[in-house]
Protein backbone atom coordinates (compact mmCIF):
# COMPACT_ATOMS: atom_id res chain seq x y z
CA UNK A 1 0.00 0.00 0.00
CA UNK A 2 1.04 3.64 -0.33
CA UNK A 3 0.34 6.99 1.29
CA UNK A 4 -0.62 9.70 -1.22
CA UNK A 5 -1.29 13.41 -0.83
CA UNK A 6 -2.85 15.47 -3.61
CA UNK A 7 -3.80 19.09 -3.05
CA UNK A 8 -3.40 22.82 -3.55
CA UNK A 9 -2.26 25.45 -1.06
CA UNK A 10 -1.54 29.15 -0.61
CA UNK A 11 2.13 28.51 -1.42
CA UNK A 12 1.44 27.92 -5.12
CA UNK A 13 -2.21 28.67 -5.80
CA UNK A 14 -3.70 32.19 -5.39
CA UNK A 15 -6.89 32.58 -3.39
CA UNK A 16 -8.92 33.55 -6.46
CA UNK A 17 -8.11 30.12 -7.90
CA UNK A 18 -8.45 28.20 -4.63
CA UNK A 19 -11.98 29.55 -4.27
CA UNK A 20 -12.99 27.75 -7.47
CA UNK A 21 -11.88 24.43 -5.98
CA UNK A 22 -13.38 24.80 -2.51
CA UNK A 23 -16.04 22.32 -1.44
CA UNK A 24 -19.09 22.70 0.74
CA UNK A 25 -19.41 20.30 3.67
CA UNK A 26 -22.04 18.38 1.70
CA UNK A 27 -19.71 18.09 -1.30
CA UNK A 28 -16.86 16.90 0.92
CA UNK A 29 -19.05 14.25 2.49
CA UNK A 30 -20.13 13.09 -0.95
CA UNK A 31 -16.51 12.96 -2.13
CA UNK A 32 -15.42 11.00 0.93
CA UNK A 33 -18.06 8.34 0.40
CA UNK A 34 -17.53 8.05 -3.35
CA UNK A 35 -13.74 7.95 -3.14
CA UNK A 36 -13.77 5.39 -0.33
CA UNK A 37 -16.06 3.16 -2.37
CA UNK A 38 -13.48 3.05 -5.17
CA UNK A 39 -11.57 -0.22 -5.38
CA UNK A 40 -7.92 0.44 -4.66
CA UNK A 41 -8.52 3.16 -2.07
CA UNK A 42 -8.66 1.93 1.51
CA UNK A 43 -8.76 5.20 3.43
CA UNK A 44 -9.22 8.90 2.63
CA UNK A 45 -9.47 12.21 4.48
CA UNK A 46 -9.95 15.78 3.21
CA UNK A 47 -8.33 18.77 4.90
CA UNK A 48 -9.87 22.05 3.70
CA UNK A 49 -9.01 25.44 5.19
CA UNK A 50 -8.81 28.97 3.80
CA UNK A 51 -5.22 28.22 2.75
CA UNK A 52 -5.32 24.63 1.53
CA UNK A 53 -7.39 21.78 0.10
CA UNK A 54 -5.60 18.48 0.62
CA UNK A 55 -6.69 14.89 0.00
CA UNK A 56 -4.89 12.20 2.00
CA UNK A 57 -5.07 8.62 0.71
CA UNK A 58 -4.02 5.17 1.80
CA UNK A 59 -4.28 3.22 -1.44
CA UNK A 60 -3.03 0.31 -3.49
CA UNK A 61 0.38 0.86 -5.04
CA UNK A 62 -1.00 -0.05 -8.45
CA UNK A 63 -3.84 2.51 -8.33
CA UNK A 64 -3.33 5.95 -9.95
CA UNK A 65 -4.84 8.09 -7.20
CA UNK A 66 -3.86 11.43 -8.71
CA UNK A 67 -5.51 10.86 -12.07
CA UNK A 68 -8.60 9.38 -10.42
CA UNK A 69 -8.98 12.44 -8.18
CA UNK A 70 -8.65 14.87 -11.10
CA UNK A 71 -11.53 13.15 -12.88
CA UNK A 72 -13.62 13.04 -9.72
CA UNK A 73 -13.13 16.76 -9.03
CA UNK A 74 -13.90 17.68 -12.64
CA UNK A 75 -17.16 15.72 -12.51
CA UNK A 76 -18.25 17.31 -9.23
CA UNK A 77 -17.00 20.86 -9.85
CA UNK A 78 -16.11 21.57 -13.51
CA UNK A 79 -14.79 25.07 -12.74
CA UNK A 80 -12.15 23.49 -10.51
CA UNK A 81 -10.73 21.21 -13.22
CA UNK A 82 -8.29 23.72 -14.73
CA UNK A 83 -7.24 24.91 -11.26
CA UNK A 84 -6.54 21.40 -10.05
CA UNK A 85 -4.62 20.40 -13.16
CA UNK A 86 -2.48 23.55 -13.03
CA UNK A 87 -1.78 23.94 -9.32
CA UNK A 88 -2.23 20.59 -7.58
CA UNK A 89 0.81 18.73 -6.31
CA UNK A 90 1.20 15.10 -5.31
CA UNK A 91 3.39 13.46 -2.70
CA UNK A 92 3.87 9.76 -1.94
CA UNK A 93 5.28 7.69 0.87
CA UNK A 94 7.09 8.98 3.93
CA UNK A 95 6.97 12.62 2.74
CA UNK A 96 3.16 12.53 3.05
CA UNK A 97 3.47 11.59 6.71
CA UNK A 98 6.07 14.30 7.32
CA UNK A 99 3.94 16.90 5.52
CA UNK A 100 0.83 16.12 7.58
CA UNK A 101 2.83 16.37 10.81
CA UNK A 102 4.32 19.72 9.69
CA UNK A 103 0.83 21.01 8.88
CA UNK A 104 -0.45 19.96 12.31
CA UNK A 105 2.57 21.65 13.91
CA UNK A 106 1.89 24.95 12.13
CA UNK A 107 5.14 24.74 10.14
CA UNK A 108 3.37 24.82 6.77
CA UNK A 109 1.01 27.67 7.68
CA UNK A 110 0.94 31.14 6.19
CA UNK A 111 1.20 32.36 9.78
CA UNK A 112 4.00 30.24 11.23
CA UNK A 113 2.96 28.34 14.35
CA UNK A 114 -0.74 29.23 14.18
CA UNK A 115 -2.96 27.24 16.54
CA UNK A 116 -6.11 27.06 14.44
CA UNK A 117 -4.69 24.57 11.94
CA UNK A 118 -4.40 21.81 14.55
CA UNK A 119 -8.12 22.02 15.31
CA UNK A 120 -8.78 22.01 11.54
CA UNK A 121 -6.73 18.83 11.12
CA UNK A 122 -8.75 17.29 13.96
CA UNK A 123 -11.94 18.39 12.22
CA UNK A 124 -10.87 16.74 8.95
CA UNK A 125 -10.11 13.50 10.79
CA UNK A 126 -13.39 13.66 12.69
CA UNK A 127 -15.31 14.10 9.44
CA UNK A 128 -13.55 11.09 7.89
CA UNK A 129 -14.28 9.00 11.00
CA UNK A 130 -17.96 9.97 10.86
CA UNK A 131 -18.14 8.61 7.31
CA UNK A 132 -15.89 5.63 8.08
CA UNK A 133 -13.27 6.63 5.50
CA UNK A 134 -10.50 6.70 8.10
CA UNK A 135 -9.79 3.25 9.43
CA UNK A 136 -6.94 1.43 11.15
CA UNK A 137 -3.93 3.14 9.49
CA UNK A 138 -5.38 6.67 9.44
CA UNK A 139 -6.50 6.33 13.05
CA UNK A 140 -2.86 5.89 14.01
CA UNK A 141 -1.57 8.43 11.44
CA UNK A 142 -3.80 11.31 12.54
CA UNK A 143 -3.32 10.67 16.24
CA UNK A 144 0.41 10.84 15.62
CA UNK A 145 -0.22 14.17 13.85
CA UNK A 146 -2.13 15.47 16.90
CA UNK A 147 0.70 14.41 19.19
CA UNK A 148 3.21 16.13 16.91
CA UNK A 149 1.23 19.37 16.88
CA UNK A 150 0.87 19.36 20.64
CA UNK A 151 4.55 18.58 21.22
CA UNK A 152 5.73 21.38 18.95
CA UNK A 153 3.48 23.88 20.68
CA UNK A 154 4.45 22.83 24.21
CA UNK A 155 8.17 22.19 23.66
CA UNK A 156 8.94 25.24 21.49
CA UNK A 157 7.94 28.90 21.36
CA UNK A 158 6.79 28.71 17.76
CA UNK A 159 3.25 29.87 18.56
CA UNK A 160 4.17 32.42 21.22
CA UNK A 161 3.84 36.15 20.62
CA UNK A 162 1.33 37.56 18.13
CA UNK A 163 2.26 37.77 14.45
CA UNK A 164 -1.06 39.14 13.20
CA UNK A 165 -2.00 42.76 13.69
CA UNK A 166 -5.30 42.01 15.43
CA UNK A 167 -3.71 39.60 17.92
CA UNK A 168 -0.87 42.05 18.51
CA UNK A 169 -3.45 44.72 19.34
CA UNK A 170 -5.26 42.42 21.76
CA UNK A 171 -1.96 41.37 23.38
CA UNK A 172 -0.95 45.02 23.77
CA UNK A 173 -4.23 45.62 25.59
CA UNK A 174 -3.67 42.64 27.89
CA UNK A 175 -0.13 43.82 28.73
CA UNK A 176 -1.42 47.22 29.88
CA UNK A 177 -4.87 46.50 31.34
CA UNK A 178 -6.08 44.09 34.04
CA UNK A 179 -8.65 42.03 32.13
CA UNK A 180 -10.24 40.63 35.29
CA UNK A 181 -11.83 44.00 36.04
CA UNK A 182 -11.64 45.80 32.69
CA UNK A 183 -14.19 46.98 30.17
CA UNK A 184 -13.03 47.03 26.55
CA UNK A 185 -14.55 48.18 23.28
CA UNK A 186 -13.84 46.74 19.84
CA UNK A 187 -14.95 48.95 16.96
CA UNK A 188 -15.65 46.86 13.87
CA UNK A 189 -17.06 43.42 13.15
CA UNK A 190 -14.82 42.16 10.33
CA UNK A 191 -12.24 39.39 10.35
CA UNK A 192 -9.55 41.33 12.24
CA UNK A 193 -12.04 42.66 14.77
CA UNK A 194 -13.43 39.17 15.34
CA UNK A 195 -9.97 37.72 15.91
CA UNK A 196 -9.22 40.44 18.45
CA UNK A 197 -12.54 39.79 20.20
CA UNK A 198 -11.86 36.06 20.40
CA UNK A 199 -8.51 36.71 22.05
CA UNK A 200 -10.04 39.15 24.53
CA UNK A 201 -12.80 36.72 25.49
CA UNK A 202 -10.40 33.77 25.70
CA UNK A 203 -8.14 35.74 28.03
CA UNK A 204 -10.91 36.58 30.47
CA UNK A 205 -11.89 40.17 29.68
CA UNK A 206 -14.60 41.01 32.18
CA UNK A 207 -16.81 43.15 29.90
CA UNK A 208 -16.73 43.51 26.12
CA UNK A 209 -18.55 46.08 23.99
CA UNK A 210 -18.76 45.79 20.19
CA UNK A 211 -19.56 48.79 18.02
CA UNK A 212 -20.20 48.70 14.29
CA UNK A 213 -21.96 50.77 11.67
CA UNK A 214 -24.06 47.73 10.80
CA UNK A 215 -25.35 46.60 14.20
CA UNK A 216 -26.67 43.31 12.85
CA UNK A 217 -23.10 42.27 11.93
CA UNK A 218 -21.96 43.17 15.44
CA UNK A 219 -24.86 41.21 16.94
CA UNK A 220 -23.93 38.21 14.83
CA UNK A 221 -20.34 38.45 16.07
CA UNK A 222 -21.57 38.71 19.66
CA UNK A 223 -23.64 35.53 19.24
CA UNK A 224 -20.64 33.64 17.83
CA UNK A 225 -18.53 34.78 20.75
CA UNK A 226 -21.22 34.10 23.34
CA UNK A 227 -20.27 37.43 24.84
CA UNK A 228 -20.32 41.14 24.08
CA UNK A 229 -22.83 43.98 24.31
CA UNK A 230 -23.52 45.70 20.98
CA UNK A 231 -23.67 49.48 20.61
CA UNK A 232 -23.88 51.86 17.65
CA UNK A 233 -21.01 54.07 16.49
CA UNK A 234 -22.88 57.10 17.80
CA UNK A 235 -22.78 55.68 21.34
CA UNK A 236 -18.99 55.39 21.56
CA UNK A 237 -18.32 58.89 22.92
CA UNK A 238 -20.71 58.52 25.84
CA UNK A 239 -19.14 55.16 26.79
CA UNK A 240 -15.63 56.62 27.07
CA UNK A 241 -16.15 57.48 30.72
CA UNK A 242 -16.24 53.81 31.73
CA UNK A 243 -13.90 52.18 29.16
CA UNK A 244 -10.38 50.97 29.92
CA UNK A 245 -9.34 50.41 26.31
CA UNK A 246 -10.54 50.60 22.70
CA UNK A 247 -9.40 48.57 19.68
CA UNK A 248 -10.50 50.06 16.35
CA UNK A 249 -10.59 47.96 13.18
CA UNK A 250 -13.17 49.13 10.65
CA UNK A 251 -13.16 49.64 6.89
CA UNK A 252 -14.43 53.21 7.25
CA UNK A 253 -12.97 55.81 4.90
CA UNK A 254 -12.91 58.52 7.60
CA UNK A 255 -12.34 58.49 11.37
CA UNK A 256 -15.06 57.02 13.57
CA UNK A 257 -13.52 58.60 16.69
CA UNK A 258 -13.09 62.35 16.21
CA UNK A 259 -11.50 64.96 18.46
CA UNK A 260 -14.55 67.19 18.59
CA UNK A 261 -16.77 64.29 19.72
CA UNK A 262 -14.58 63.25 22.65
CA UNK A 263 -12.91 66.50 23.75
CA UNK A 264 -15.34 67.21 26.57
CA UNK A 265 -15.07 63.76 28.12
CA UNK A 266 -11.34 63.14 27.71
CA UNK A 267 -10.28 66.59 28.92
CA UNK A 268 -11.94 65.82 32.28
CA UNK A 269 -10.84 62.20 32.56
CA UNK A 270 -8.04 61.26 34.99
CA UNK A 271 -8.08 57.48 34.58
CA UNK A 272 -5.86 56.29 31.69
CA UNK A 273 -7.47 54.92 28.54
CA UNK A 274 -5.68 52.82 25.95
CA UNK A 275 -6.64 53.37 22.29
CA UNK A 276 -5.26 50.96 19.66
CA UNK A 277 -6.06 51.85 16.05
CA UNK A 278 -5.24 49.07 13.55
CA UNK A 279 -7.43 50.39 10.73
CA UNK A 280 -6.16 51.71 7.39
CA UNK A 281 -7.27 54.46 6.87
CA UNK A 282 -7.09 55.21 10.59
CA UNK A 283 -10.27 55.16 12.67
CA UNK A 284 -9.00 57.60 15.33
CA UNK A 285 -7.98 61.20 14.71
CA UNK A 286 -4.30 61.73 15.52
CA UNK A 287 -5.08 64.80 17.64
CA UNK A 288 -6.82 62.64 20.27
CA UNK A 289 -3.50 61.37 21.60
CA UNK A 290 -2.72 64.84 23.01
CA UNK A 291 -4.99 64.18 26.01
CA UNK A 292 -2.88 63.24 29.04
CA UNK A 293 -5.14 60.28 29.86
CA UNK A 294 -4.76 58.73 26.39
CA UNK A 295 -2.15 56.11 25.51
CA UNK A 296 -2.52 55.58 21.76
CA UNK A 297 -0.99 53.13 19.27
CA UNK A 298 -1.51 52.73 15.54
CA UNK A 299 -0.69 49.94 13.08
CA UNK A 300 2.88 51.17 12.53
CA UNK A 301 3.57 51.04 16.26
CA UNK A 302 2.54 47.39 16.33
CA UNK A 303 4.33 46.34 13.14
CA UNK A 304 7.74 46.58 14.83
CA UNK A 305 6.54 44.24 17.58
CA UNK A 306 5.17 41.80 15.00
CA UNK A 307 8.47 41.71 13.07
CA UNK A 308 10.30 40.91 16.28
CA UNK A 309 7.79 38.17 17.09
CA UNK A 310 8.16 36.65 13.61
CA UNK A 311 11.93 36.50 14.10
CA UNK A 312 11.43 34.75 17.45
CA UNK A 313 9.15 32.18 15.83
CA UNK A 314 11.58 31.61 12.95
CA UNK A 315 14.31 30.83 15.46
CA UNK A 316 12.17 27.94 16.75
CA UNK A 317 11.84 26.23 13.36
CA UNK A 318 14.89 23.91 13.70
CA UNK A 319 13.66 22.67 17.10
CA UNK A 320 10.14 22.13 15.73
CA UNK A 321 11.47 20.23 12.72
CA UNK A 322 13.44 17.90 15.00
CA UNK A 323 10.20 17.10 16.82
CA UNK A 324 8.42 16.44 13.50
CA UNK A 325 11.25 14.14 12.42
CA UNK A 326 11.08 12.23 15.69
CA UNK A 327 7.35 11.54 15.31
CA UNK A 328 7.68 10.81 11.59
CA UNK A 329 10.40 8.23 12.23
CA UNK A 330 8.38 6.70 15.05
CA UNK A 331 5.30 6.34 12.85
CA UNK A 332 7.31 4.89 9.96
CA UNK A 333 8.88 2.33 12.31
CA UNK A 334 5.41 1.33 13.46
CA UNK A 335 4.09 1.10 9.90
CA UNK A 336 7.11 -0.87 8.66
CA UNK A 337 6.57 -3.32 11.53
CA UNK A 338 3.29 -4.34 9.90
CA UNK A 339 5.08 -5.93 6.93
CA UNK A 340 4.12 -9.61 6.80
CA UNK A 341 7.29 -11.40 5.68
CA UNK A 342 9.64 -9.94 8.33
CA UNK A 343 6.99 -10.51 11.01
CA UNK A 344 6.47 -14.14 10.01
CA UNK A 345 10.22 -14.72 10.06
CA UNK A 346 10.49 -13.14 13.50
CA UNK A 347 7.52 -15.13 14.79
CA UNK A 348 8.92 -18.39 13.41
CA UNK A 349 12.37 -17.63 14.78
CA UNK A 350 10.96 -16.81 18.18
CA UNK A 351 8.96 -20.08 18.17
CA UNK A 352 11.97 -22.15 17.17
CA UNK A 353 14.15 -20.54 19.83
CA UNK A 354 11.47 -21.16 22.45
CA UNK A 355 11.10 -24.82 21.38
CA UNK A 356 14.84 -25.46 21.52
CA UNK A 357 15.12 -23.68 24.87
CA UNK A 358 12.33 -25.70 26.48
CA UNK A 359 13.57 -28.98 24.95
CA UNK A 360 17.04 -28.30 26.33
CA UNK A 361 15.58 -27.43 29.72
CA UNK A 362 13.95 -30.88 30.10
CA UNK A 363 16.53 -32.91 28.12
CA UNK A 364 18.19 -34.20 31.29
CA UNK A 365 14.99 -36.06 32.18
CA UNK A 366 15.16 -38.11 28.96
CA UNK A 367 17.40 -40.88 27.73
CA UNK A 368 20.12 -39.64 25.37
CA UNK A 369 18.50 -41.39 22.40
CA UNK A 370 15.18 -39.58 23.08
CA UNK A 371 16.52 -36.05 23.49
CA UNK A 372 16.60 -35.38 19.74
CA UNK A 373 13.00 -36.62 19.51
CA UNK A 374 12.04 -34.18 22.30
CA UNK A 375 13.56 -31.32 20.33
CA UNK A 376 11.75 -32.33 17.14
CA UNK A 377 8.49 -32.70 19.10
CA UNK A 378 8.81 -29.24 20.65
CA UNK A 379 9.57 -27.57 17.31
CA UNK A 380 6.74 -29.44 15.60
CA UNK A 381 4.27 -28.39 18.29
CA UNK A 382 5.24 -24.71 17.96
CA UNK A 383 4.95 -24.85 14.16
CA UNK A 384 1.45 -26.32 14.41
CA UNK A 385 0.41 -23.68 16.92
CA UNK A 386 1.68 -20.90 14.65
CA UNK A 387 0.33 -22.41 11.44
CA UNK A 388 -3.13 -20.80 11.57
CA UNK A 389 -1.95 -17.29 12.58
CA UNK A 390 0.71 -17.37 9.84
CA UNK A 391 -1.78 -18.67 7.26
CA UNK A 392 -4.14 -15.84 8.20
CA UNK A 393 -1.39 -13.26 7.70
CA UNK A 394 -0.47 -14.79 4.34
CA UNK A 395 -4.09 -14.64 3.25
CA UNK A 396 -3.51 -11.48 1.21
CA UNK A 397 -0.67 -10.22 -0.88
CA UNK A 398 1.93 -8.56 1.36
CA UNK A 399 1.26 -5.14 -0.21
CA UNK A 400 -2.51 -5.47 -0.02
CA UNK A 401 -3.10 -6.34 3.61
CA UNK A 402 -6.69 -6.04 4.75
CA UNK A 403 -7.64 -4.15 7.88
CA UNK A 404 -7.98 -7.35 9.91
CA UNK A 405 -4.48 -8.49 8.93
CA UNK A 406 -3.05 -5.10 9.87
CA UNK A 407 -4.74 -5.22 13.25
CA UNK A 408 -3.41 -8.73 13.86
CA UNK A 409 0.08 -7.61 12.83
CA UNK A 410 -0.13 -4.70 15.26
CA UNK A 411 -1.34 -6.98 18.05
CA UNK A 412 1.48 -9.49 17.40
CA UNK A 413 4.02 -6.69 17.53
CA UNK A 414 2.61 -5.40 20.81
CA UNK A 415 2.57 -8.86 22.34
CA UNK A 416 5.96 -10.10 21.17
CA UNK A 417 8.05 -7.39 19.54
CA UNK A 418 7.21 -4.09 21.24
CA UNK A 419 10.85 -3.20 21.76
CA UNK A 420 11.64 -3.82 18.10
CA UNK A 421 8.89 -1.52 16.83
CA UNK A 422 9.56 1.31 19.24
CA UNK A 423 6.08 1.14 20.81
How does strand 2-9 pair with strand 52-59?
Answer: antiparallel
Element (H, E) at 183: strand 183-187
CA separation for the pair 5, 52 (Å, rounded): 12
Half-sphere exposure of 247 (CA within 13 A, CB side): 30
Residues 6+ apart with CB under 8 A from 217: 189
SS3 42: strand
Supply angle C-alpha 221, 223, 227, rounded to 5: 90
DSSP 292: T
Per the residue annotation, which of 13, 50, 74, 242 is the catalytic one?
Answer: 50
- Distance CA(76)–CA(63), nearest Å, equals 21
Residue 409: its H or E element: helix 403-416
Helix axis angle for 65-76 and 25-37, nearest 10°, is: 140
Paired strand residues for 183: 207
Look up 50 and say whether it is catalytic: yes
> In 3D, which of 166, 203, 165 has the Cα closest to residue 186?
166
| First CA to last CA distance, the chain | 22
Catalytic residues: 50
Amino acid sequence: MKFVLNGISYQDCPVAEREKASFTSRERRSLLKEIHAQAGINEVAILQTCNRIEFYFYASKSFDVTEYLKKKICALKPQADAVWRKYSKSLEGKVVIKHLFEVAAGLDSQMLGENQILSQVKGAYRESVDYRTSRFVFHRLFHFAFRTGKAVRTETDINREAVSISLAAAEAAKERVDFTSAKGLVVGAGENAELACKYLVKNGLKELLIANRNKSNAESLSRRLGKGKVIGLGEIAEKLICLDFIICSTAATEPVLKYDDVEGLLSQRDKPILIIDIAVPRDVEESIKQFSCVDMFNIDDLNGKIKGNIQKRNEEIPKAKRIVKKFTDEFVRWYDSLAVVPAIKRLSRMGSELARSEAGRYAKDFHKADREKLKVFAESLIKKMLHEPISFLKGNDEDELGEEQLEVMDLINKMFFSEDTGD
